[in-house]
Chains A and B, each alone.
Chain A
Amino acid sequence: MTLLHTGKAGTDESSDILIEITPSDTLSITLESKVESLYGKKIRAVIEETLKDMGITGATVHARDNGALDYAIRARVKAAVRMGRGEHDT
C-alpha cells in the first residue's frame, strides 16, 4: 500500500524521535540530531530499512532525533507510515 498523505509520529521528548513522512516518488531523509556525527548513518539506515520492510520506496522523511534507540526509531517510522496510509483510531 502506498502513502496517501503525510503521517507523523513521535515526540521531542528525550529518547524519542519525531518522524514526519510525506508521499514522494523518490526517497529522501532529512535528519536533525545532536548525535548526527556519531549515529547519523545508523539512524538513517534504520529508517531506510524500516521503510523498505513496509514496501515504501518513495517518501520525504523528516526526522528529529533526541537520542532514540533503534526500537523507537522503527516504531515511529512504522506509525508514521501507517497513519500516512490512512490508519487511525479516531
Chain B
Amino acid sequence: MIQSGRMFHSDVLLLDLEDSVPLTDKLAARILVREALEHLTFENEVMVRINHFPLGRRDLKEIVCERLDSILYPKCESVHDIEEVKDVLQKLEKNYAIDKEIEIVAVIETAKGCLHCEEIAHGPRVTALTFGAEDFIADIGGIRSQESLFFLKSMVAISAASAGIQALDTVYPYIDDDEGLKKEAEESKKMGFCGKGAIHPRQLSIINSVFTPSQEEIAWAQKVISVMKEAEEKGMASAALDGRMIDTPTLKKARRITAIAEVIS
C-alpha cells in the first residue's frame, strides 16, 4: 500500500491513477490517494500521475490539496494540454485556499508529443519532462531498443535543457536486470537526463549511484570552479586544468555538479 513507498527514501514518490488502475476502480483509487495525502506523513516529494483529460479533471478535483507537490501528466501532445491542466490546478488551488502552485511533469509518449516537445517544455508550471517508452513504441509501431528511442530521448533532453527544466529518464522494466538498468541509466546521464524512474525499490540504489555525483566528480568540479575564478580575476575566459583547456561550458558543468551535490547533502 501507499504507506510502504515512504520507506525507501526516493526523491519522489509517485502515486498512479492512470494505467495501473482499471476504469472501474478509478473513483476508489483517487479517494485513497486523497486520504493518503491528507493523513500520512511524507518526506519525499509526492507526485500523482493523473489520467489524461477529460477523466483527469475528476482526478484533480479529488486529489488537489496542500500536500500534493506535482502532477505527472501523461500523453502530452501540445502546450495546450499543459495550459488546460494549469487552468484547472489554478482554479482548484484558489477554491481550496492552497497557498502554492502544484507543479507539472509532462510525459511525452506519442509521435505528436515528441514533435511538440519544445513547446511543452516551455509550458506553464512544467518543471520536468519525461517520456513513456512503451506507449511511444506502440504509437510509432516500432520495437523497443536504444535506436528506436534515441530520437525521443534526444528531443526530451534537449527540449528540457532549452527550457531550463529537468529531463527524467523512464523506468527500466526488467526488475532483476541490475546490469541492464545501470547501463541504461549511464547512457541517459550522458544524454543530459538527471534522474530516472524506478518500478521496484531494489532499483533505487543503482539509479542513485549513477545520477549522484561521485566524490571524484565533486572534487573535479570544485577544482574547475576555483581555477576559472582565478582566470576570471586575471581577465581570462579560459584556463588549463590537468592538461586540458577549460572554459565557460566546463564551468557550467562544474556548477551543475556542485549544485546537485549540495541539494543531496
Contacts and interface: CB of A to CB of B under 8 A. Distances in A.
A83 B35 contact: no
A87 B27 contact: yes
A75 interface: yes
Interface residues of A, number: 22
B27 A71 contact: no
Interface in B53-81: 55, 58
Contact of B27 (A10, A16, A79): A79
Contacts of B1: 13-16, 68-69, 72
B32 A75 contact: yes
B31 A89 contact: no
B32 A69 contact: no
Contacts of A88: 24, 27
B23 A78 contact: no
Contacts of B31: 9, 75, 78-79, 82
Interface string B1-17: 10110000000000000
Contacts of A78: 31, 35
A74 B35 CA distance: 7
B26 A89 contact: yes
Interface residues of B, number: 18
A89 B34 contact: no
Chain B contact residues: helix, strand, loop or mixed? helix
Interface string A48-90: 0000000000000000000011111011101100110001111
A82 B27 contact: yes
Nearest to A83: B27
Contacts of B27: 79, 82-83, 87-89
Given A15-B1, A72-B1, A89-B55, A79 B38 contact: no
B39 interface: yes
Contacts of B24: 88-90
B115 interface: no
A71 B3 CA distance: 10
B28 A10 contact: yes
A78 B58 CA distance: 16
Contact of A71 (B4, B23, B38, B58): B38
Given A15-B4, A76-B32, 8 more contacts: A10-B28, A70-B39, A71-B35, A71-B38, A75-B32, A75-B36, A79-B28, A90-B24
23 contacts: A9-B28, A13-B1, A14-B1, A15-B1, A16-B1, A69-B1, A70-B39, A71-B32, A71-B39, A71-B40, A72-B32, A75-B32, A75-B34, A75-B35, A75-B36, A76-B32, A79-B32, A82-B31, A83-B27, A88-B27, A89-B23, A89-B27, A89-B58
